[in-house]
Amino acid sequence: MKYESLAKDIIKNVGGKENVNSLTHCVTRLRFKLKDENKANTEGLKNMDGVVTVVQSGGQYQVVIGNHVPEVYADVVSVGGFSTASEDSSSEEKLSPFNKFIDIISGVFAPTLGVLAATGMIKGFNSLFVALGLYGDKSGTYAILNAIGDSLFYFFPIFLGYTASKKFKGNNFIGMAIGAALVYPKILALTTAQPLYTLFNGTMIQSNVNITFLGIPVILMDYSSSVIPIVLAAYVGAKIESGFKKIIPDVVKTFLVPFCTLLVTVPLTFIVIGPVATWAGKLIGTATLAIINLSPVLAGLFIGGFWQVFVMFGLHWGLIPIAINNMVTMHYDTVLSAAIGASFAQTGVVLAILLKTKNKKLKSLSIPAFISGIFGVTEPAIYGITLPRKKPFILSCIAAAVGGAIAEFMGTKGFIMGGLGVFALPSYINPQGMDKGFYGAIIAVVVSFVLGFILMMVAGFKDEESKTEEVKKESNELIRQEVVISPLKGEVKPLSEVKDEAFSKGVLGKGIAIEPKEGKVVSPVEGIVTMLFPTKHAIGITSKNGAEILIHVGMDTVQLEGKYFTSKVQQGDSIKIGQELLEFDIDAIKKEGFSLITPVIITNSDRYLDIIETDKKSINYKEDLLTVMI
C-alpha cells in the first residue's frame, strides 16, 4: 500500500480505530465521525507530512489530504478495517436494469482482469514459443508455463465465487467454497462415468444423468473455466445466507450460517442452477456466433468501430462475459476479435498528431500516450488527446472499424483471454498452429494502425493554442496567461471569508469565492471533467492548457449526499466554455442550514507564476474571474 504509513499515523492521531464511528471522503479530505473528538491529536495531524490541515465542522472531523485523497482513503480503510461508504450505505443508487447488469458484470469480472490478462499472456507466449520451435509441447518448460497460464482459467469458478459473493454482499469464502465444489476433481471424474439414463433426448439440451442426490437426478457438467453457473450460484447463495442470518442465533452464526448455506446452495447449484446456466450460456454463444456468421464483416465493422465508445461508457462489460462463455463452450471466440484493431487505430492517430503538432504541450502528452497505446492502454490517448479534439477520435473509430471487418473476414478467433495491445496477439494463435485467423489478426492490427495514421495526417487538426490564451513579451521572456471565466452568477468574495481553513488559508490552491444568486454552474474553461464527486457538490476540471480547477458548491454540502444537486455532465466528458455543468436548488440547500459560498480554486497553483483575481464585487456568467499566469 502506497500510503500505509500515513494511514496508520492518521488512525492513531484520530484516537485509534475504536474512536471512529464512520469514515467517508470527499474531493480533498477524509471525513471522520468520531465518538470523541477530544481524543484526536489535532495539532499532531496538522503537522504531519501528507496532511494539509484539519477542519472540524458539521459534526465531522475532516483531515484535508489533497487531490490524492481516494488513494489515502483506500489505505486508511484497509489498515483500520473500516467499512467503505458503499458497504455502509443503506440506500443504493437506483439503476436501470441494463445499468444494473453492467454494474454487476464489472463488479464481478473487473478484479480478475489483471491476473486473467497476465495468465493469458503467459499461455499465449507459451504457444508462440512452441510454434517457433524454441521447445516442444512435451517439455518441462512447456508444462510449467502451461500450468501458470491455465491456473486461473481452469479454476475460474473459485475466483469468481469470491468476487461475485463480494458484489452480492455474501460471505466471500462461502462463494469460493461453492466454486471449489463445482471443480472438485472427483465430481469432474463422474462426468465421464457410465450414465444412469438420459434426459431431454434428441434436443439441444440432451443430458446424461450420472448420479442422483437424495433420488433427484443430477446433470453433471464440466464447470472448470465456466462463468455463468458460479455467478448465479453466488447470487443465490448470498440470498440464502442472508435468510439464515436472520433466523440463526448469534452465538452459533459463525459456523452454522456457512454450514446451512453450503448445504442448501451447492446441491441446488448442481441440480438446477448449473445445468440451466450452462444451457443458457450455450444458447447465448450460439446466438452470438449466428449473428457473426450471418455477416462477419458487418459485425466486425460495428464492434470494431464502436469498441472505444463501448469502453468509455462501460458497455463492453456486456460483451466480455459472452466472449469468455464462447471460449468455455466452443474453445474460441470471435466477438472480441473484432476489437483487436481499436487500440492500434488510436495509437496510429496519436503518432500522426505527435509528428504534425507544433504545440510543445500537446507533443509532450502524445509521446507517453503513444507508448502506452502500443501496450493497449489508450485512456491517456482518448481523454488527453483525441476525444477533446473530436475529429481524431472519430478517425480512430473509422480505422478500428476497418480492422474489425478484416479480422472477421479472415476468421480471426481468440483462443485465450490474453493481454492488451501487442500482448494480445499470441491469444489468436490456434493451438494447432498459426492459421489464416492469426495472420488476419496481424493484418487487422497493421491496417488499423496505418489507416489511423494516414487519415489523421491527411485530415489534419487545429494545432493552435486555446482562444483564452494570450501571448506577450515581457522582460525578454515569453509569458502566457489563461483566463478562467466565472462559472457562477453572484457576489465575489475573497477566499479568506470562507469558513473552512483548507480554502480560506489557500492550502488547496489560490482562487476566489462566489456567493451564488442562481443555482447553475457553467464551465469556466475548455477542457475535460476530470473529477465529479458522487454527491455532485464538487467538480474538478482540467483546462486544455493544464490548469486544474476545483468548483466546490457550498460548505459541508457533501452531507446532503447528492440531494438538491443535478449533474449535466459525467467524469471524462469534454466540455466547452460556458457549458452547463451542474444545477442545484439554492433555497432547499439554505433551508437545510448549509452555506452556499463556493470556492473556485486552481489546485495546481504552485505550477504558475501567479493567479490574479478579478476586482469585481459582483459577477455574471462568462465574465473574467481569474487570470492564470503561466
SS (H, E, C) 347-376: HHHHHHHHHHCCCHHHHHHHHHHHHHHHCC
Own/partner contacts of 252-257, CB < 8 Å, gap of 24 or more, are 257/171
More confident residue, 396 or 106: 396
Question: Residue type for 249, please?
Answer: P
What pLDDT was estimated at residue 95? 56
User: Looking at the domain assignment, is residue 135 inside a domain?
Assistant: yes
User: Looking at the domain assignment, is residue 467 inside a domain?
Assistant: no
Q: Is residue 324 predicted with pLDDT exceeding 80? A: no
334: which DSSP letter? Answer: S
User: Looking at the domain assignment, is residue 46 inside a domain?
Assistant: yes
Cα angle 372, 104, 281 (rounded to 5 degrees) comes to: 95
CATH number for the domain harbouring residue 526: 2.70.70.10
Mean pLDDT of 500-523: 89
Residue where a domain stops, chosen among 252, 274, 290? 290
Query: Is the domain of 420 the same as that of 314?
Result: yes
pLDDT tens for residues 463-477? 654 333 443 344 333
Residue where a domain stops, chosen among 242, 258, 290? 290
What cell was used for 304?
470494431
Question: Residue type for 307, please?
Answer: W
More confident residue, 319 or 186: 186
Place of cell 433555497: 587
Give the total number of structural domains in the chain: 4
pLDDT band (50, 70, 90) for residue 383: low
Query: Is the domain of 411 the same as that of 375?
Result: yes
pLDDT band (50, 70, 90) for residue 22: confident
Query: Is the domain of 240 the same as that of 360?
Result: no
How far is the CA of 136 from the CAs of 129, 514, 535, 544, in angstroms? Answer: 9, 71, 58, 54
User: Looking at the domain assignment, is residue 244 inside a domain?
Assistant: yes
Query: Is the domain of 455 the same as that of 487?
Result: no
Instruction: Report the DSSP pairing between strands 565-567 and 580-584.
Output: antiparallel
231: which DSSP letter? Answer: H
What pLDDT was estimated at residue 102? 60
Residue where a domain stops, chosen among 290, 323, 356? 290
User: Looking at the domain assignment, is residue 282 inside a domain?
Assistant: yes
Cα angle 408, 412, 416 (rounded to 5 degrees) comes to: 130
Selection from 103, 105, 110, 241 nearest residue 172 by Cα: 241
Instruction: Report the DSSP pairing between strands 60-64 and 29-34.
Output: antiparallel
User: Looking at the domain assignment, is residue 464 inside a domain?
Assistant: no
Sheet holding 60-64, edge to edge: 20-25, 29-34, 60-64, 53-57
Place of cell 488547496: 508
Query: Is the domain of 177 the same as that of 36?
Result: no
pLDDT tens for residues 91-103? 444 556 756 666 6
DSSP characters for 37-84?
GGGS-HHHHHTSTT--EEEEETTEEEEE--TTHHHHHHHHHHHHTPPP
Query: Is the domain of 305 the same as that of 274?
Result: no
pTM, whole model, 2 decimals?
Answer: 0.51
Residue 435 structural domain: 295-459
Place of cell 521572456: 477
Helix (H) or strand (E) holding 629: strand 624-629
260 catalytic residue (yes or no): no
Query: Is the domain of 255 the same as that of 106?
Result: yes
Average pLDDT value over all residues in the chain: 84
What pLDDT was estimated at residue 221? 81
User: What is the SS3 assignment for 458-500?
Assistant: HHCCCCCCCCCEEEEEECCEEEEEEEEECCCCEEEECHHHCCC
Query: Is the domain of 424 the same as that of 497?
Result: no
What pLDDT was estimated at residue 96? 62
Query: Backbone dihedral region of 483: left (phi > 0), alpha (psi from -120 to 50 degrees) or beta?
Result: beta
6, 10, 11, 26: which is the annotated catalytic residue?
26
CATH number for the domain harbouring residue 59: 3.30.1360.60
User: Looking at the domain assignment, is residue 466 inside a domain?
Assistant: no
317: which DSSP letter? Answer: G
Helix (H) or strand (E) holding 447: helix 436-459
Burial of 344 (0-12, 13-18, 19+ CB in 10 A): buried
pLDDT tens for residues 537-554? 999 999 998 899 999 999
Torsion angle, alpha carbons of 167, 375, 1, 365, to 10: -110
Query: Is the domain of 174 the same as that of 225?
Result: yes
What pLDDT was estimated at residue 606? 79
Most confident segment among 4-18, 202-216, 423-437: 4-18
Query: Is the domain of 235 the same as that of 274?
Result: yes
Query: Is the domain of 153 the same as that of 105?
Result: yes
Torsion angle, alpha carbons of 436, 438, 444, 447, to 10: -90
Mean pLDDT of 385-390: 80
Cα angle 365, 370, 372 (rounded to 5 degrees) comes to: 100
User: Looking at the domain assignment, is residue 471 inside a domain?
Assistant: no
Q: Is residue 229 predicted with pLDDT exceeding 90? A: no
Query: Is the domain of 324 the same as that of 248?
Result: no
What cell was used for 560?
446532503
Q: Is residue 378 predicted with pLDDT exceeding 90? A: no
